[in-house]
Chain A
């Protein structure tokens, strides 16, 4: 109760004397005296004021009195006890007041009590106790609530008259302490402190803090007012989320006030301004215009474009009550598009009842719609007031709705208003501006200086000589005139440059230097610039016109780079706006293969033209999956000249020299069989990048701490390889130079040396011999390791060497299967010279009977189906694109016929020659590998000639043996096979069919031949069989398809044909064996093939010959010899 008077007193005191320390309210009587003194000192004006205030105060007191009257009952029990002494003073004062006559003396009761109290304090206390006991608790509670509830406290505006600056803290005030707290918990903690202090108030450890507060703009900290840091830490003890360990920092006294003065940048919402909606989610991010603001500033009336669901769930239309739910749900999943309210449409969907019309306003689902817009009150907290940045599009949409329909006439004042605020920020001294409103409207000049919102302008014009004028920043805008070269500083067109073509108020239209299109921007976003901006063509790692992977199925070409995003045209022709992080990778199409309509290869950079459709021209940027081609044409307006089309509908605009050579080596590319794997390879290269060939290799570390460790290359990256060590199951990254490839033999070779073994198809061009050596094995790789495949492979490889026949080494391959494959017409003569135990052994009955695999041999003996089985491994081009079918049927021509014939011959013959060591080993019913490596004489011989072969041999797996073992040999060992003649010694095979083509026969002229039937067919229907002749010359076509022929001079020409020295296919020519001592012969087969000699002795099958040019006598099989007629003519 004394509070009231104190209030008044303090106020008055402060007013009376500002220097008075209001911390100690003076006693009433003192004050009076003091005031009296003052009255004397001060002038009359002040006196009057004072008097007025006194009167006021007096009046206030007068009003208060009756109310005080009602309280004594409460006073007696609750308020009085702690202030006994003061009370007495008060009472005295009261008495004084009473004497003053202000109070009507209605306090008899109270006076009685006073008297009583004075007389016997103890008695009073006793009575109080009694009364307390008597009074039930409910009554106390009621009293308490009565006391708290009372409205008697008159609002006095307390210290409102005191200027704020007088409230600045002094040194005597408690300090503020900054306490670090968990961000987001500030408010909770302030509340916690409040509650805690209330709880502890009467405990033995009350909190000694005076207050605590938090500001939203100062996250992570609260401020506690207390006398010492200790009190603060005590108060904070036990509260979760406070970090007293991070320091309780004293706030300097001069900063205290500013903590409470912090004001967020006030964003005033005025009717007409733009905001964005945060809630409800259906309209999230939508632009809205403020129409009005409620009195307390909490809600804002907005106008925006509605999003009415015109395809509501079925049940939603049934009745009004159910509608709400689905509407709420759909708003989250998929919100309907912005659309102006259309009465007809809505009625059609929701029924006529759902929409009611009042005046010019429709009401639908509790929302009002006017002129197509929805008008709705939203709370200020549900709006975004900053960074609204309405785009031209959005505003245009708004204005369009207002105009009714489709009038593109942009209401510039709206835009100007929207952009005006920001315009102030972008002005710089030196900018050319014009005043567009106010008295100085129309004046233009350059900005001299800017101070807050005032811009000082140096106007241009005669009448403003040297003057400067100050105008509000909001009244000026940057000025541009047509012809200016400008650059966009902000917005989605940032960094574009161009020439201004028109200026309409603050919308500047310029012609972009880059896209040659007209771009309209606000003048505030422009700056005059001399540079010709290219825009930046690179964002992140991606560049303009890069082919990028967007997702698994989609690739696209970047055709425009924006500030931090790209416009990408994907292969389906759709334009996407993607951010760099949405691009999974850049793709390299340099090696992608696509062919145009003529079958020419399309390469990036080619100038092409569409042959159908629009006939667009362009330069190939990229090809994708051999099907899509991304083209670029600078003159094409859409998508900045980038478009996508089908590669097949393109035609080259320029002839391509390198591709016109159709008959050349590029034949293989035309072959679907070869193209497929190639394409596959390239395709995978696109997808995964070029795969390092070294991946999967077994390597050995040759340097560094891991030296000697063996591992497998798992991945490579530049010069680094990731190797999984066999030991410890560890992955290491190691420089490639430190690892060597470890061959199965245990030998090491540097990684960069080409592999001799499998899979090196990419090295085809590196060397002929090797290339061919490799090729078959690529087919092995394709076919997998089973023996079948292994057998199938070798035949496939033969055609190639024989085709051009330039590899002596290869033709002498000690490969039985090659031998079989070699039984092609052209190859025969050479292969015949390579007495091949495998071919032989392979044809032993033992092998056949064992028939452990569906191998081509077994089946080859019975039918040509075996060949069919082998054909998958025959994708080499020299077969002339032979399809499997072709191999089997007679179109193969004489070759197939000869094969059949020959093979049957050989099969028959095989048993007789079978009992050779090699054959024996073959017939062993052990797995092939065992047989191969078995220490039979044959095997011994085998492994003897070249260590290299041996190594490879042993190491191969059984399945792979036939293939790998033979694949490994480099030309050298191959040659060795032939020269060593190791097989020749054991070779029981006769000379091949086409022995004449043997390279060793340097000069076949003069060899005596006879006509025979070859592979079941006859030359000239067998009319000239067994006729003898002399070779004049041999024409080797080196081609299976065309018969190699020899011109033969018949000894006894019987008719026209023979008399003319006709050309006879070499396969029909058999050598005439010597039959007399002293005859001159040439050795056509075996290790001495090509050498000539003279027959010294004839003994059964063997002929002793003295070799010409040497003094060597050798015993040669008779069928290895051919009589030769000394050159005569």
Chain B
């Protein structure tokens, strides 16, 4: 069951933890800078760009999920992270991705779902 895995933050209490606004994965800013977002780096392009990290991730999230087996987990499916890497995810992330990301998603025909649980249909 070797699956891609995000780096797990060592300090759960750290105020520094940030959650990706798109996929809700939780990492330290250092990890975001080093590796980018393990799920959506392709579109977010945060790796090596602290400014980008600060707009694409947030500290304002709530609820912490240890996603151990995303493929089979209902939680992952509910959170729409089933296809993402293993790692820590936030239940709820406040804020929206930057406009350019939103535009890019739109251009790709991907429906953007903010992670703040505002539109649960």
**Is A264 among interface residues, defined by CB-CB distance under 8 A?**
yes
How distant is the Cα of A216 from the Cα of B44 in the complex, in angstroms?
A: 28
**Is B25 among interface residues, defined by CB-CB distance under 8 A?**
no
Q: Is the CB of B63 within 8 A of A214?
A: yes
Q: Is the CB of B39 within 8 A of A155?
A: yes
Q: Is the CB of B73 within 8 A of A174?
A: yes
Interface residues of B in 13-29 (CB under 8 A from A): 13, 21-22
Q: Is the CB of B66 within 8 A of A216?
A: no
Chain A hits for B21, CB < 8 A:
296
**Is A194 among interface residues, defined by CB-CB distance under 8 A?**
yes
Chain A, residue nearest B99 (CB): A295
Interface residues of A in 348-369 (CB under 8 A from B): none
Instruction: State how many angstroms separate the Cβ of B75 from the closest Cβ of chain A.
Output: 4
Interface residues of B in 57-116 (CB under 8 A from A): 58-60, 62-70, 72-80, 82-84, 86-88, 91-92, 94-95, 98, 105, 108-113
Q: Is the CB of B13 within 8 A of A187?
A: yes
**Is A1069 among interface residues, defined by CB-CB distance under 8 A?**
no
Instruction: State how many angstroms separate the Cβ of A317 from the closest Cβ of chain B.
Output: 34
Contact with B along A246-267 (1 / 0, CB 8 A): 0000000000110011111000
Q: Is the CB of A191 within 8 A of B66?
A: yes
Q: Is the CB of B83 within 8 A of A3?
A: yes
**Which of B12, B75, B84 is packed against the most chain A CB atoms within 10 Å?**
B75
Which of A151, A153, A155, A169 is in CB contact (< 8 Å) with B78? A169
Subset of 29 A-B contacts with CB under 8 Å: A151-B41, A155-B43, A156-B110, A157-B105, A157-B112, A158-B83, A158-B84, A160-B80, A164-B120, A167-B77, A169-B74, A190-B66, A191-B12, A191-B66, A194-B8, A194-B68, A198-B86, A210-B74, A211-B73, A213-B65, A214-B64, A215-B62, A260-B78, A260-B79, A260-B91, A261-B117, A261-B120, A295-B95, A297-B95
Chain B hits for A176, CB < 8 A:
75
Chain A hits for B108, CB < 8 A:
157
Q: Is the CB of A174 within 8 A of B72?
A: yes
- Given A210-B73, A261-B117, does the pair A148, B64 have CB atoms closer than 8 Å? no
How distant is the Cα of A152 from the Cα of B41 in the complex, in angstroms?
A: 9
Which of B22, B75, B88 is in CB contact (< 8 Å) with A191? B88
Q: Is the CB of B35 within 8 A of A149?
A: yes
Instruction: State how many angstroms separate the Cβ of A374 from the closest Cβ of chain B.
Output: 24
**Which of B54, B70, B78, B111 is packed against the most chain A CB atoms within 10 Å?**
B78
Q: Is the CB of B5 within 8 A of A198?
A: yes
Instruction: State how many angstroms separate the Cβ of A78 from the closest Cβ of chain B.
Output: 9
How distant is the Cα of A298 from the Cα of B86 in the complex, in angstroms?
A: 27
Q: Is the CB of B73 within 8 A of A164?
A: no
- Given A211-B67, A215-B62, A260-B75, does the pair A148, B35 have CB atoms closer than 8 Å? yes
Q: Is the CB of A210 within 8 A of B60?
A: no
Interface residues of A in 52-75 (CB under 8 A from B): 56
Q: Is the CB of B12 within 8 A of A298?
A: no
Chain B hits for A152, CB < 8 A:
42
Chain B hits for A207, CB < 8 A:
68
How many residues of chain A have a CB within 8 Å of chain B? 61
- Given A213-B64, A260-B75, A261-B120, does the pair A296, B8 have CB atoms closer than 8 Å? no
Which of A210, A257, A295 is in CB contact (< 8 Å) with B72? A210
Instruction: State how many angstroms separate the Cβ of A727 from the closest Cβ of chain B.
Output: 60
Q: Is the CB of A213 within 8 A of B68?
A: no
Which of A148, A151, A159, A296 is in CB contact (< 8 Å) with B80? A159
How many residues of chain B have a CB within 8 Å of chain A? 64
Chain B hits for A724, CB < 8 A:
none
Q: Is the CB of B74 within 8 A of A298?
A: no
Chain B hits for A260, CB < 8 A:
63, 75, 78-79, 91
Instruction: State how many angstroms separate the Cβ of B114 from the closest Cβ of chain A.
Output: 11
A-to-B contact residues, CB < 8 Å: 3, 7, 56, 82, 148-149, 151-165, 167, 169, 173-174, 176, 186-188, 190-191, 193-195, 197-198, 201, 207, 209-217, 225, 256-257, 260-264, 295-298, 380-381
Instruction: State how many angstroms separate the Cβ of A240 from the closest Cβ of chain B.
Output: 14
How distant is the Cα of A599 from the Cα of B50 in the complex, in angstroms?
A: 85
A-B contact sample (19 more), CB < 8 A, given A155-B44, A163-B121? A3-B83, A155-B39, A158-B82, A164-B78, A167-B80, A174-B73, A190-B65, A190-B88, A191-B12, A198-B5, A212-B65, A213-B75, A214-B64, A215-B63, A225-B73, A295-B95, A297-B95, A381-B59, A381-B60
**Which of B35, B47, B64, B120 is packed against the most chain A CB atoms within 10 Å?**
B64
**Is B55 among interface residues, defined by CB-CB distance under 8 A?**
yes
- Given A155-B39, A210-B72, does the pair A193, B66 have CB atoms closer than 8 Å? yes
How distant is the Cα of A195 from the Cα of B9 in the complex, in angstroms?
A: 10
Q: Is the CB of B83 within 8 A of A190?
A: no
How distant is the Cα of A211 from the Cα of B67 in the complex, in angstroms?
A: 5
Q: Is the CB of B5 within 8 A of A297?
A: no
Q: Is the CB of A159 within 8 A of B77?
A: yes
Chain A hits for B64, CB < 8 A:
186-187, 190-191, 213-214
Q: Is the CB of A155 within 8 A of B13?
A: no
How distant is the Cα of A169 from the Cα of B72 in the complex, in angstroms?
A: 12
**CB-CB nearest 4 A-B residue pairs:** A157-B110, A194-B66, A173-B74, A213-B65
How distant is the Cα of A1124 from the Cα of B40 in the complex, in angstroms?
A: 139
Instruction: State how many angstroms separate the Cβ of B93 from the closest Cβ of chain A.
Output: 10
Q: Is the CB of B72 within 8 A of A296?
A: no
Chain A, residue nearest B54 (CB): A296
Q: Is the CB of B91 within 8 A of A215?
A: yes
**Which of B41, B91, B112 is packed against the most chain A CB atoms within 10 Å?**
B91
How distant is the Cα of A878 from the Cα of B77 in the complex, in angstroms?
A: 103
Chain B hits for A154, CB < 8 A:
42
- Given A157-B108, A161-B111, A215-B62, does the pair A174, B74 have CB atoms closer than 8 Å? yes
Instruction: State how many angstroms separate the Cβ of B56 from the closest Cβ of chain A.
Output: 9
Chain A hits for B120, CB < 8 A:
164, 261
Q: Is the CB of A160 within 8 A of B112?
A: yes
Instruction: State how many angstroms separate the Cβ of B82 from the closest Cβ of chain A.
Output: 7
**Which of B9, B41, B58, B83 is packed against the most chain A CB atoms within 10 Å?**
B83
Chain A, residue nearest B121 (CB): A163
How distant is the Cα of A937 from the Cα of B114 in the complex, in angstroms?
A: 116
Which of A3, A209, A215, A296 is in CB contact (< 8 Å) with B60? A296
Q: Is the CB of B95 within 8 A of A296?
A: yes
Q: Is the CB of B68 within 8 A of A210?
A: yes
Q: Is the CB of B88 within 8 A of A216?
A: no
How distant is the Cα of A200 from the Cα of B105 in the complex, in angstroms?
A: 38
Which of B42, B66, B70, B110 is in CB contact (< 8 Å) with A213? B66
Which of B1, B59, B70, B121 is in CB contact (< 8 Å) with A164? B121
Chain B, residue nearest A175 (CB): B74
Chain B hits for A156, CB < 8 A:
110
How distant is the Cα of A195 from the Cα of B11 in the complex, in angstroms?
A: 12
How distant is the Cα of A210 from the Cα of B62 in the complex, in angstroms?
A: 20
